[in-house]
A and B are shown apart, each in its own frame.
Chain A
Amino acid sequence: MSERIGTLRELRAALDARQTSSVEIVGECLRRAEASQETIHAFVGLRAEAALREAEAADARRGRGEVRSPIDGLPIAIKDNMVQTGEPTHCASRILEGFISPYTSTAVEGLEQSGAIVIGRTNMDEFAMGSSTEHSVDGPTRNPWDPSRTPGGSSGGSAAAVAARIVPAALGSDTGGSIRQPASFCGVVGIKPTYGRVSRWGLVAFASSLDQIGAFAQTAADCAWVLEAIAGHDPRDSTSIPEPAPAYSGVLSGDLSGLRLGLPKEYFVAEGVDAGVLAAVRDAVAQLERAGAKTVEVSLPHARYAIATYYAIANAEASSNLARFDGVRYGHRAAGAKGLTEMYCRTRSEGFGAEVKRRILLGTYFLSAGYYDAYYRKAQQVRTLLRGDFEQAFMACDALVTPTSPEVAFRLGEKTSDLLTMYLSDIYTVSANLAGIPALSTPCGFVDGLPVGLQILGPALDEATPLRIADAFQRITDHHLACPGGAA
């Protein structure tokens, strides 16, 4: 097997020292991606020719002394729900088969302008609905630590690609934990910024008020580089944050002295969480304390309603967002249908998988006359209360820490028949989406040889603090350096 791919910083240094070239690095990534498709299946599409051409251009630029950004000439993968001109995007769904985008998403445009090279699109749960990357029309992605297990989801392909050292970084999207949970399951860093920090223009919508693009990498410092390329105001997204994004790399001081870490008491109870996971997280907290952080207990009294609130809002929005996939203008259309209604019914029946249909039905119900007040409006009210909980908590601390997931990676097929347990595995992550605050997951240990993630949440607009804490933690620990056997 070819050589494992290093971090962005290692690759940058090698480029700057003229020990390698973009063409070599990108070529290596593509070889590893192809070689791992059988076992991991992280990708739904590679853009080998275009990527190598762009690598040549990047090498030529560097030869002239032009460097657009720290990630210029370095490879990256994107989740299959971000469009790029001339490339297919199908959100792991049959309904978008054959769709080629005539425009590029703002996040990918940011990568292009930074000189980063998109090598391919990663697998996901269909329309980002799921926590295991099993609900993909292309088949599941497997966890590089144990191919009998899922990589988590919905951005499982991106997490697995970074964990298997196929690419140094990848973009994902996080609606209820879809970056952080797979980062936790795969032993990599994954960050969901503040809602609106990265433009949603060109991100195929799941739940508009919750969706947020973020990054995966081996280190927090690498995540900072990627975020710098994709974050910032975008007039094409009305929910985009007007303020410019901070220079994240500049705040990674390694210093935690005086930092106040909040431990939400509702999330530090033994019930519903794997004992090994909780122990690893407590251990991580102890290490952060030794590094200078102070801990304080805080309360999020409405957190217990987060899952129900999340599923009401996310599904309601999804039922409307997915209405455009109707077979009229692009994507799959059922053949031989007689009449409009039959065309709609058959196209959508054939085009969507079971999980997507289930959520559309639930969401349609939540918005229906007579149920709207009991579900959607009520959920919005609880959301406001939950946001208040976080505002209150952040008056007493600078960041919150929790487990990312109540468990380590589960086996393929283990939860497909028990959806409620699957939904409950989002318990620690959905609150950050409901409140719109930034959160990341960083590796903090192992249970039975499988990675455990530590979730760090910051107040709105402050991605810098969670990044600084994760970076400091990585300077005193080596969990993030561990890589799955198959990837060595």
Chain B
Amino acid sequence: MKFIYTFLIVINILNFNLLKADEIKTENEIAKNLRCLICQGQSVYDSDSEFAISLKLVIKNKIQQGMSEEEIYSFLKMKYGEWILYDPVFNKNTYFLWLLPILIFLVGGAIITRKFYYKK
């Protein structure tokens, strides 16, 4: 009986650890996708500024409250604007940025096909 009891406790603790590990993982993932506003060229994850430390704490609290990753991003976007996100959203200011690689790819592909097939 005692053995089962201890076994259950151990299982419980292990489970709890897994949950915690998951939380920390998403926490870090979110922090890596955020720009530290007062330290140029650093993510919130990398920075140890007062702002970044607080922001990491906020993310942790929000996850514990059950907010999803997307919800946290939109919350921060509302507070600080789009500049805080490293991943720019597709809109009229950024469509050039998003479409340029595809455009270059297509042009390159066109040049290659011309060279290889039309010469024959």
Q: Determine if chain A interacts with chain B.
A: no
Chain A residues within 8 Å of B, Cβ to Cβ: none
